[in-house]
Amino acid sequence: MTIHREGYVPLLITAVVLIVINFLVIQFFNWPAPWPNLTHLVSTLMFLMILQFFRSPKVSTSLDDQIVYAPANGKVIVIEETQEQEYFNQTRKQISIFMSPVDVHVNRNPISGMVKNYTYHAGKYLVAWHPKSSTENERTTLVVESPLGVDILIRQIAGAVARRIKCYVGEGDPVTQGEEFGFIKFGSRVDIFLPLDAQIKVNIGDKTKAGKTVIAHLA
């Protein structure tokens, strides 16, 4: 298990702040600073909680152009046919995965191919399971064309807690299944829009692992 690069600065800041707080508490109460005291234990727990937000496990993905892998770790909260109005302007199968604060926050490519479109949208910070979060929250949209000529859309969505989305690919970039394409700090939601003839392989409530869980087969 490694620490994601997005965590380096937050973890450093957290460590410095906690060290200062511990020093001030010890000085204020004139404690001899035995280890561990309550302040040390609470500080350690807080640091470990933030540390787990930025864990980045290694993932081995079996490449298959007909398989669509989960782009995020989390729980499937939406499976439905919906009108995708930003890019396709047609009905698509939508799968939404909610990333809780305890999930790994790395986003991975569900398919291999070429990025045809990348768009960033500023927006609100509604809770991630709100029906309008997909269209009103801060978000990024990626459209990837697979080697089979199938286009899918992946949307990273910020939530009430997650207020920073990172996307590391852009229009014209090649992508490979299972490789990292983005990161959402402190969890949120990722939507994926598939063709109507895609065969869905997950159910509402299923837990997913990015680059490992098969969520659909392309026809």
Residues 119 and 44 placed together within one structural domain of the fold = no
Q: Does 62 map to a domain?
A: no
Torsion over CA: 39, 42, 45, 49 (sign): negative
**Residues of the domain holding 108:** 67-217
Residues 23 and 85 placed together within one structural domain of the fold = no
How confident is the prediction along the chain (219 residues), in pLDDT tens digits per residue? 687 777 788 778 888 888 887 777 777 766 655 555 677 778 788 777 777 777 888 889 999 999 999 999 999 999 999 999 999 999 999 999 999 888 888 999 999 999 999 999 886 555 555 555 555 568 899 999 999 999 999 999 986 555 578 899 999 999 999 999 999 876 688 999 999 999 999 999 999 999 999 999 998
Residues 104 and 42 placed together within one structural domain of the fold = no
Residues 6 and 87 placed together within one structural domain of the fold = no
Q: Is 0.85 surpassed by the pTM of this model?
A: no
User: Tokens 């799968």 — which residue?
Assistant: 95
Q: At residue 39, what is the residue type?
A: T
The phi-psi region of residue 161 (left if phi > 0; otherwise alpha if psi is between -120 and 50; otherwise beta) is: alpha
**DSSP label at residue 35:** S
Torsion over CA: 46, 58, 114, 81 (sign): negative
What does the block give as tokens for 211?
A: 């680059």
112 as an active site residue: the answer is no
Q: Does 61 map to a domain?
A: no
Q: Does 29 map to a domain?
A: yes
SS3 of residue 48 by DSSP:
helix
Of the residues 112, 134, 146, 188, only one is catalytic, namely 188
Q: Does 165 map to a domain?
A: yes
Domain boundary, last residue among 56, 81, 101: 56
